[in-house]
Amino acid sequence: MTSPSPITTATAAIPNRKKLFIRTWGCQMNVYDSTRMADVLAPLGYGPAETPEEADMVILNTCHIREKASEKVFSDLGRLRLLKNEKEAAGQKMVLAVAGCVAQAEGAEITARAPWVDIVLGPQTYHRLPEMVARASRAAGAQIDTDFPVEQKFDLLPEVSANQGPIAFLTIQEGCDKFCSFCVVPYTRGAEFSRPVAAILAEAKRLVAGGAREIALLGQNVNAWHGEAPDGSSWTLSRLLYELAEIDGLARLRYTTSHPRDMDDALIGAHGRIPALMPFLHLPVQSGSDKMLAAMNRQHKAELFFRTADKLREARPDMALSSDFIVGHPGETDADHAATMALVEKVGFALAYSFKYSSRPGTPAAGQPLQVAEAVKDARLQELQALLRQQQDDFNRACVGRECEILFTGPGRHPGQVAGRTPWLQPVHVMAPAHWAGRLGKVRIDAAHPNSLSATLLSEKELATA
């Protein structure tokens, strides 16, 4: 999960006269959405603000996945109310908006508990932000828009800002039809929608022309993408990846988040045939127990995950996997937890995210019996996280002495350092000029640290742009 942070990429059509601060919680999809909201507001003269205090507009782009997500939003809104009042007392105006999944799920609650909020908008309506800002400046009362016009959103958004940096994100699919028992995404993001091929390729080329050397394709179920091609046919994700890999100047491709059920043989095979497709895949499994996978409505068994992991490693021997796990789903027993531990031991993960189950109103699991006690969930999570952390440390230590290519992303923490990412998404730092961001360099990994690697530069190259 990402930490709250300002969005600082916007391409203004007119000189910046106003300041915009966006605080983002959640997945990379939310980060992408925040960037697009900045793009939408740039023609109105909004440029980036580093803090809420200097902003004329503040947007909280929310996520409903974590426990007590809405309460954290209301806590932030309480602090922003004081700032808004201070600005009004000084004769200034600050527009306050709540966007994202909490806004979608609890729009009425937000306006009732925080009437000082000017705009509430769901994930599918931020293309209408300029109109909502105009209405908010003319009329009292919150402007609320939580419809699901996903086709309109992508059709009406301006061209994506091309200056995301060496690593860029590109949404190709939104929504979910899986209806896992614990998840709110189908209710906050709507049904699955795949963007057409032409729009994706055009956006990717703009990103590369703007300096992107790696593109991560985003979707709630990204490997379920099936976009319409210009000739009217339907492409799968594997076909799209082959096409994207032909873009001059694009060195790396990734995609997230995937569902095990949608990992077909063509997509698995692409990992062995497309050099630009990085050998690192995030593939959430949630549990190793078939009983719990059924209770979660994951629509596959543990054996499918084992076969998929084996096939991926056959196609790409250096493939590393990451995953998501939930402990303490209603009905989970000690035996079910042991099955999850056994899956982790058998598969092995370079990275993983694990959470205690927490009830989400409106989801099927929220009303199920046999809720697991908090103390039991705590104990199971600690045991699982200890194993996952050990596997991550083992994977990082196994990289010491290896030579690999990294993508430089910007300055490191210390003078003379530049930071980058390995093919397996590990942060790495080397002694090199900071202006090398956007180049690739061959390095030798020297040491593994708790959250990064250090390396020695062996050679470097600068990529040609499209």
Cα-flanking dihedrals φ and ψ of residue 95, to 5°? -85, 130
Q: How far apart are CA 335 and CA 332, in angstroms?
A: 8
Q: Does 172 lie in the same domain as 144?
A: no
Does a structural domain hold residue 456?
Answer: yes
Do residues 73 and 34 lie in contact, with contact meaning Cβ atoms separated by under 8 Å? no
pLDDT of 12: 36
Q: Quick one: tokens of 212?
A: 């992107």
- Name the 3-class secondary structure at 363: coil
Last residue of a domain, one of 148, 168, 188: 148
Torsion of CA 98, 101, 105, 107, to 10 degrees: 10
Half-sphere exposure of 337 (CA within 13 A, CB side): 23
Does a structural domain hold residue 4?
Answer: no
- The verdict on whether residue 183 carries a ligand-binding annotation is yes
Cα-flanking dihedrals φ and ψ of residue 208, to 5°? -65, -40
Q: Does 144 lie in the same domain as 164?
A: no
Q: Does 198 lie in the same domain as 108?
A: no
320-327 vs 351-356, strand pairing mode: parallel
Whole-number Cα distances in Å, 162 to 143, 167, 215, 385: 30, 11, 12, 38
95-100 vs 119-121, strand pairing mode: parallel
Q: Does 318 lie in the same domain as 433?
A: no
Place of tokens 């057409």: 196
CATH classification of the domain holding 331: 3.80.30.20
- The verdict on whether residue 63 carries a ligand-binding annotation is yes
Q: Does 254 lie in the same domain as 142?
A: no
- The verdict on whether residue 27 carries a ligand-binding annotation is yes
Q: How many other C-beta atoms lie within 10 A of the C-beta of residue 203?
A: 21
Cα-flanking dihedrals φ and ψ of residue 413, to 5°? -75, -25
Q: Does 343 lie in the same domain as 195?
A: yes
- The verdict on whether residue 399 carries a ligand-binding annotation is no
Do residues 285 and 323 lie in contact, with contact meaning Cβ atoms separated by under 8 Å? yes
Boundaries of domain holding 431: 403-461
440-448 vs 119-121, strand pairing mode: unpaired
Does a structural domain hold residue 443?
Answer: yes
Q: Does 254 lie in the same domain as 223?
A: yes
- Taking every pair of Cα atoms in the chain, the longest distance, rounded to a whole number of angstroms, is 65
Does a structural domain hold residue 7?
Answer: no
Last residue of a domain, one of 363, 398, 433: 398
- Name the 3-class secondary structure at 72: helix
Task: Output the tens digit of pLDDT for each of the chain's 466 residues.
Answer: 333 333 333 333 445 589 999 998 877 778 888 888 888 888 888 989 999 999 999 999 988 766 566 778 888 999 999 999 999 889 888 999 999 888 887 878 888 888 899 999 888 788 788 888 888 877 655 677 656 555 555 565 556 555 778 999 999 998 888 989 988 777 777 788 899 999 999 999 999 999 999 999 999 899 999 999 999 999 999 999 999 999 999 999 999 999 999 999 999 999 999 999 999 999 999 999 999 999 999 999 999 999 999 999 999 999 999 999 999 999 999 999 999 999 999 999 999 999 999 877 667 787 788 899 999 999 999 999 999 999 999 999 999 999 999 999 998 888 889 999 999 999 999 998 877 888 999 999 999 998 899 999 998 765 544 3
Residue type, 385: Q
Q: How far apart are CA 443 and CA 459, in angstroms?
A: 7
Q: Nearest CA to 121 among 13, 18, 33? A: 33
Total domains, the chain: 3
Do residues 20 and 57 lie in contact, with contact meaning Cβ atoms separated by under 8 Å? yes
Q: How far apart are CA 190 and CA 124, in angstroms?
A: 9
Does a structural domain hold residue 257?
Answer: yes
Q: What is the pTM (predicted TM-score) of this model?
A: 0.77
Q: What share of the chain is helix, strand, coil (3-state, %, to 5)?
A: 40, 25, 40
CATH classification of the domain holding 94: 3.40.50.12160
Q: Does 74 lie in the same domain as 105?
A: yes
Q: Does 351 lie in the same domain as 301?
A: yes
Q: Does 254 lie in the same domain as 133?
A: no
Q: Does 190 lie in the same domain as 272?
A: yes
Q: How far apart are CA 423 and CA 455, in angstroms?
A: 14
CATH classification of the domain holding 442: 2.40.50.140
- The verdict on whether residue 404 carries a ligand-binding annotation is no
pLDDT of 9: 36
Cα-flanking dihedrals φ and ψ of residue 392, to 5°? -65, -45
